[in-house]
Amino acid sequence: MKQDIAPSRRVPAAKIQFLPEDRTWIAERIQEVLASGQLTLGKYGAEFEQKFAQFCGTRHAIAVNSGTSALEIILRALGMEGKDVLVPTNTFFATAAAVVHAGGRPVLVDMDPESFAVRPEDVEKKITPKTAGLIVVHIGGIVSRRIGELQELVCKKGLWLVEDAAHAHGSSYGGVKAGTFGIAGSFSFYPTKVMTSGEGGIIVTNDDRINEEAMIYRDQGKASFTQNAHVRMGYNWRMSEPHAIIGLKHLERLPAMIAGRQKIAAIYDEGLKGFRNLSRVEVPAGGACNYYKYIVVLKQKQDRKALKALLRDQYGVMLAGEVYEEPLHKQPVFESYVSGPLPASEDYCARHLCLPVFSGMEEAEAYQVLDALKDVIG
Ligand SMILES: Cc1ncc(COP(=O)(O)O)c(C=O)c1O
């Protein structure tokens, strides 16, 4: 039965936070670029790149207009034509789509229930002479404790490792930041992410050649900004100055935003300990998670839609979207890439939930979520 819950007692699934003083700061700089006419590939984009590279500890960062294009550019720079790329089946459409757009063929790998990423043994089984490399995705911001084994495996087989770190700004394992485990990493600044630039993405790398190629690809394949010699099949993948300005402010706030999410996650960690019908996807010892998502797994498969409606209508708790409701091999567009069963992903995609977590979330809201879960799931 639907109850009337005051808006002040509702816990949203997610929220984007731009503090009033940050909105003023952003608006002033957008006024400045509007007046100057320098609206793309200008000083704010360069500053954003320099500061994001510094944040990750890489030599280079190349800002672009989305996380999807960031990944496609890396793959184009690596050369993908006619090759296979190992991709987790538990990821967003864009991870595998970027491989297809870059001329490669995604080979889907089952998921590791412990981290929601991939297991080295599943990856190894799928390697053939046609394999060029592996893309790892840090689901929900968790870097798998097995990332070192994955690095060793690809190294031994002469392959490359690329990270789709769209979820993982500021996450790390063993003190190594997400985005820096392989030859290059891509991030998304889509509004649902831990930090946003409105729309946008960025490539981080220590590889000078990928850096140079990325700058060429993002600007219509031009050899340089001022020359009209097109040397690569690039695209308009540039980030505009207003987007870079928004991103700069959120990047400055990122450590505090992550700390706020970690505070909420710690309340969930403690509060969920007594639950028998629910388990947590845990951050490994030695890892740091930005909590893009807080993932829990239901012991038994339940009608997730009905459960979410009950939590919303009776308790004012909105659950965030799943990561992911369906694995990629169940998506019609990737049907032709399916080779063999991927049972763990089907099971866990159907049985997990994501609890609300966002910048500026109050501790009381986390306790409200726990109380609701206790009643409904226990
Ligand atoms: C894992 C993953 N890869 C890639 C992307 C694509 O990022 P964007 O939406 O910025 O293109 C997203 C985000 O939406 C994502 O979650």
- Ligand 1 centroid to residue 183 C-alpha, Å: 19
- At 3, is the pLDDT very low, low, confident or very high (cuts 50, 70, 90)? low
- Among residues 201, 234, 250, which one ends one of the domains? 250
Assess if residue 224 is contained within a domain: yes
- Among residues 230, 250, 270, which one ends one of the domains? 250
Judged by DSSP in three states, 353 sits in strand
Find the helix or strand (DSSP H, E) in which 304 lies: helix 304-315
Assess if residue 15 is contained within a domain: no
Ligand 1: residues with CB < 6 A are 66-68, 91-92, 94-95, 137, 164, 166-167, 188, 190, 201
C-alpha–C-alpha distance, residues 105 and 5, integer Å: 49
Q: Which of 137, 188, 235, 290 to mutate to test the pocket of ligand 1 (most atoms within 8 A of CB)?
A: 188
Find the helix or strand (DSSP H, E) in which 312 lies: helix 304-315
Mean pLDDT of 289-307: 96
pLDDT in tens, 124-145: 999 999 999 999 999 999 999 9
Residue 40: pLDDT over 80: yes
pLDDT attached to residue 67:
98
Q: Which domain holds residue 115?
A: 20-250
Cβ atoms of 250 and 196 within 8 Å: the answer is yes
Q: Are residues 54 and 182 in the same domain?
A: yes
Where residue 184 sits, what CATH number does that domain have? 3.40.640.10
Half-sphere exposure of 37 (CA within 13 A, CB side): 0
- Ligand 1 centroid to residue 226 C-alpha, Å: 31
pLDDT attached to residue 14:
93
Task: For the chain, list the strands marked E by DSSP.
Answer: 60-64, 84-88, 105-109, 131-137, 160-164, 172-173, 176-177, 184-188, 201-205, 278-280, 287-288, 294-298, 352-355
Assess if residue 50 is contained within a domain: yes
Residue 7: pLDDT over 80: no
Q: Which of 71, 90, 92, 142 to mutate to test the pocket of ligand 1 (most atoms within 8 A of CB)?
A: 92
Where residue 284 sits, what CATH number does that domain have? 3.90.1150.10
Q: Are residues 243 and 278 in the same domain?
A: no
What average pLDDT does the chain have? 96
Q: Are residues 345 and 196 in the same domain?
A: no
Assess if residue 9 is contained within a domain: no
pLDDT in tens, 97-133: 999 999 999 999 999 999 999 999 999 999 999 999 9
- Among residues 250, 279, 308, which one ends one of the domains? 250
pTM above 0.95, yes or no: yes
- Ligand 1 centroid to residue 52 C-alpha, Å: 18
Q: CA triplet 297, 108, 329: central angle to 5 degrees? A: 65
Burial class of 148 by CB neighbour count within 10 A (0 to 12, 13 to 18, 19+): middle
Assess if residue 2 is contained within a domain: no
Mean pLDDT of 250-268: 98
Mean pLDDT of 213-239: 94
Q: Are residues 110 and 194 in the same domain?
A: yes
Q: DSSP character for 283?
A: P
Q: DSSP character for 175?
A: T
Judged by DSSP in three states, 324 sits in coil
Q: Which of 64, 65, 66, 68 to mutate to test the pocket of ligand 1 (most atoms within 8 A of CB)?
A: 68
pLDDT attached to residue 320:
87
Task: Say how many domains are in the chain.
Answer: 2
In this structure, the dihedral spanned by the alpha carbons of residues 250, 65, 108 and 126, taken in order and rounded to 10 degrees, is: -90
Q: Which atom of ligand 1 is nearest to the CA of 192?
A: 14
Assess if residue 1 is contained within a domain: no
pLDDT attached to residue 378:
75
Q: Are residues 229 and 299 in the same domain?
A: no
Q: Are residues 356 and 242 in the same domain?
A: no
Higher pLDDT, 124 or 7: 124
Q: Which atom of ligand 1 is nearest to the CA of 188?
A: 10
Cβ atoms of 88 and 117 within 8 Å: the answer is yes
